[in-house]
Amino acid sequence: MSLGLHRNARLVINKQALFHNINTEQKRLAPGTEMFMVVKANGYGHGAVEVARVAKAAGATGFCVAILDEALELRAAGFTEPILVLGVTRPEDLPLAVQKDITTTLPSNEWLALAVQVLADHSLTDQLNVHIALDTGMGRIGFQSIDEMKAAIATVNEHSDLINIDGIFTHFSTADAKDLDYFHLQVNRFKRFMAALPSRPRYVHVSNSATSLWHQECNGNMIRFGVAGYGLNPSGTEIEPPYELQPAMSLVSEIVHCKQVAAGRSIGYGATYTANDRQWIGTVPIGYADGYQRALQNFHVLVNGQFCPIVGRVCMDQFMIRLPKPVPIGTKVTLVGQNGKNRISLESMAHFCDTIHYEVACLFQERLPRTYI
């Protein structure tokens, strides 16, 4: 996708906010507990490489990603720290993971059998490092029973020249909720797995952002710090975080066209909005192709510190707003962030679209340049 350098529309990422969030959590960790910063999905839309640089400076000792290509991006950028791929890596790609010293997830015995075959067919001088995934209730990937886990460990021991178990982990699905019943169920299941483990690997980790923020007693010796590092509350508005999270992302653009329309004139595809009196309409050069969702019709932006409603449907590359008065071409428009005394948060956008702020941030496309301040 082309980078929109010749259009005034950009994501602004505040590195000081990133540092504050990451470093504050790092200082809360018990001695000997490491932090791996989660930079999957292009750093939750913030830019993986730049976020990783800030995270390293703030105390992170490793990184988590979702797919092998994201790990390769970090290696290409010069990072030598441990990198864990949380998703399932294709067995045929494991020699590349070994070559680049990238740790993968061990999700099942079926995957392990294929991995052994592939690795045995290559003349590799190093082992593949893996973290065993345990499904304690997320229902996504990982071993559901102790017997399955033990079988995997036995297979690895038989092929210790090829594979090394470097860690073991699970993922809590309700650590960000007030109701802790299911969370405690998963904790107890994980404890039973650990009790049956012949020996503990280097890393034992269960904590995503929510678990580390509100259940530090579960942290193990490593946490996977994700959305909170970007200044976003994992629970939305359900639970207050133990310290101020500073949102790092803003989205700004400008007015590229301003006109007055008469009563009865309609705006946008489908003529879903019709002016009931004479109105000033401004056009903003961002649309759903940039990840600014079509569902945001009737939401608002900020111009000169005032909320201005989005009128008509959001187009692929543009949308229109109702202005209280005419403004010059080039007037700043804030879609996310602070403008004057008012602010638009990713959380408020997510609530309007009936989704979560994770998704809103991740949807912003590469066509939007990232500017770091």
First to last CA, the chain: 24
370's tokens:
């990232």
Q: Which of 27, 191, 259, 269 is catalytic?
A: 269
Distance CA 60, CA 38 (A): 10
Query: Is 140 part of any known ligand binding site?
Result: yes
Q: How far apart are CA 310 and CA 334, in angstroms?
A: 12
Contact 235, 357 (CB under 8 A): no
CA 161-163-168 angle, to 5 degrees, is 145
269 tagged catalytic: yes
DSSP state letter for 305 = T
Burial of 5 (0-12, 13-18, 19+ CB in 10 A): exposed
Nearest one of 286, 346, 343 to 310, comparing CA atoms: 286
Residue 178 annotated in active site: no
Instruction: Write down the catalytic residue from 40, 230, 288, 358.
Output: 40
The pair of three-digit structure tokens given for residue 194, joined into one six-digit string: 């650990």
How long a stretch of residues is the chain? Answer: 373
| Residues flagged as binding site | 140, 316
Residues involved in catalysis: 40, 269
